Amino acid sequence: MNKISKTVEDDYILDLAQRAKQAAGVLASSSGKQRREALGGMARNLRSQAEQIIKANGQDLAAARKAGLSEAMLDRLRLDEGRIGRMAESIEQIALGIDPVGQIIDGWTLPDGMVIHKRRVPLGVVAIIYESRPNVTSDAAALCLKSANAVILRGGKEALASNGAIARIIRQALDEAGLPKDAVGFVEHSEHELVNNLLKQEGLIDVVIPRGGKSLIRAVVENSHIPVIKHYEGICHVYVDAGADLEMAHQIVMNAKVQRPGVCNAAETLVVHAEVAEEFLPSACDELAEAGVELRGCERTRKLYHSMGVASEDDWSSEYLAMILSIKIVSSLDEAIEHINRYGSGHTDAIVTQNIEAAEDFAARVDSASVMVNASTRLSDGGVYGLGAEVGISTDKLHARGPMGATDLTTYKYVVYGRGHLRQ
């Protein structure tokens, strides 16, 4: 993409936001059938034009290697026919989902005959600022279209060519379906100043959703004039309780840490009850180390497994996004919950136990968007939850929490039906 002149930065973003606002008005009155047809066109175009996307992705990968990005980050960036196919499948799943727009959340009739409906409506224009993973481009565009929102996408510079190719294909599908292609806007330039300009478009953009590292999210929150739905770090825990099935615990810990360590729902800390630590930890640590995981433990843990490193205070609050795991032994369920609530990020935490009382206590008291019982943290995902995909995983409590599907991209209004009713 050509470098944009600083003299036209403001006009570029303003024009993008104005066109998105106009497109949002059209989408708000579009039918669910129209939007489903456009989503089907998006999926077909991704498959038929996969070669173009892979070629663009090759440019990004070459630049990323030259810049010294880690293998985990390269994996997040990489696209092939299989991943593009899964992107298309995700769009098709979103298309098949229930249309949230116009749903009546609640309704009642007053004694005087006036009828009140609480009805779902689009948010309007959503700006999504994200890093590394090009599939966010298609997922975010599809979820926003499903919920009749216009979207402005601003991906990271490391995926600029890939995201641009995907956005052009999506906009083409909108045009073919008779919907405004400006319903999906894409910032085609990498200058950081454009983000700050985007965050100033109060009145045109209704909400901002950042996806990426802590520094990105903090910068967005500090500079935005627009409400922000935050997705802070994924400092996820697996707690192996005294009542755990230890074979199950082995499998869950390995999956949560090793299956894909560079994503936000991978486990970063393993917490183990002292009653099972001696039986569980040595073999679990052997298996993790054999898989290439660097282990860092508390003093009690290192007495059981001498070869691991020392876990510092900073380790307990670190999102590694790499093959590193911190391990802590606790004396009680209460201590485990206290540790998780103190150091976790409110993303996803898991308990492995056959004790239903312990499971319910953990689920009630751990303050996270997703709590898993006898399941891997890696399952915390919009697609897995049946949402088709997610626009992000909110660690906020307002207005959405956890994996955000199309329904979470709506708000509501009250529609009141009277028969000449007047205030007395």
Per-residue pLDDT of the chain (424 residues; tens, 9 = 90+): 455 555 566 799 999 999 999 999 999 999 999 999 999 999 999 999 999 999 999 999 999 999 998 887 898 899 999 999 999 999 999 999 999 999 999 999 999 999 999 999 999 999 999 987 899 999 999 999 999 999 999 999 999 999 999 999 999 999 999 999 999 999 999 898 999 999 999 999 999 999 887 888 999 999 999 999 988 789 999 999 999 999 999 999 999 999 999 889 999 999 999 999 999 999 999 999 999 999 999 999 999 999 999 999 999 999 999 999 999 999 999 999 999 999 999 999 999 999 999 999 999 999 999 999 999 999 999 889 988 788 889 998 888 999 999 999 999 999 999 999 999 8
Last residue within a domain, chosen from 205, 231, 257: 231
Residue 407 domain flag: no
Q: Which helix (H) or strand (E) holds 3?
A: none
The CATH number for 225's domain is: 3.40.605.10
Q: Would you say 266 and 295 are in contact if contact means Cβ atoms under 8 Å apart?
A: no
The CATH number for 354's domain is: 3.40.309.10
Residue 399 domain flag: no
Tell me: do 240 and 144 sit in the same domain: no
Residue 406 domain flag: no
Tell me: do 102 and 226 sit in the same domain: yes
Q: Given this model, what pLDDT does residue 4 score?
A: 57
Q: What range does the domain containing 35 cover?
A: 6-231
Determine phi and psi for 313, rounding to 5 degrees.
-60, -35
Tell me: do 271 and 171 sit in the same domain: no
Locate 184 and state its tokens: 């999906």
pTM: 0.86
Tell me what percent of the chain is helix, strand and coil, each rounded to the nearest 5. Answer: 45, 20, 35
Residue 393 domain flag: no
Q: Provide the number of structural domains found in the chain.
A: 2
Tell me: do 278 and 244 sit in the same domain: yes
Tell me: do 226 and 358 sit in the same domain: no
Last residue within a domain, chosen from 193, 215, 231: 231
Tell me: do 245 and 209 sit in the same domain: no
Q: How far is CA 370 from CA 224, 260, 344, in A?
A: 27, 18, 12
Tell me: do 218 and 268 sit in the same domain: no
Q: How far is CA 121 from CA 99, 115, 124, 141, 210, in A?
A: 11, 18, 9, 17, 22
Residue 387 domain flag: no
Tell me: do 92 and 197 sit in the same domain: yes
Residue 384 domain flag: no
Locate 322 and state its tokens: 């790499």
Tell me: do 255 and 164 sit in the same domain: no
Last residue within a domain, chosen from 213, 231, 249: 231
Q: Given this model, what pLDDT does residue 423 score?
A: 94
Q: Given this model, what pLDDT does residue 2 score?
A: 52
Tell me: do 312 and 298 sit in the same domain: yes
Residue 398 domain flag: no
Enumerate helices (H) and strands (E) in the chain, giving the number of each: 14, 16
Residue 390 domain flag: no
DSSP E strand boundaries for 123-252: 125-130, 150-154, 184-186, 207-211, 236-240
Torsion angle of alpha carbons 253, 254, 257, 263, nearest 10°?
Answer: -110
Tell me: do 176 and 307 sit in the same domain: no
Q: Given this model, what pLDDT does residue 400 score?
A: 92
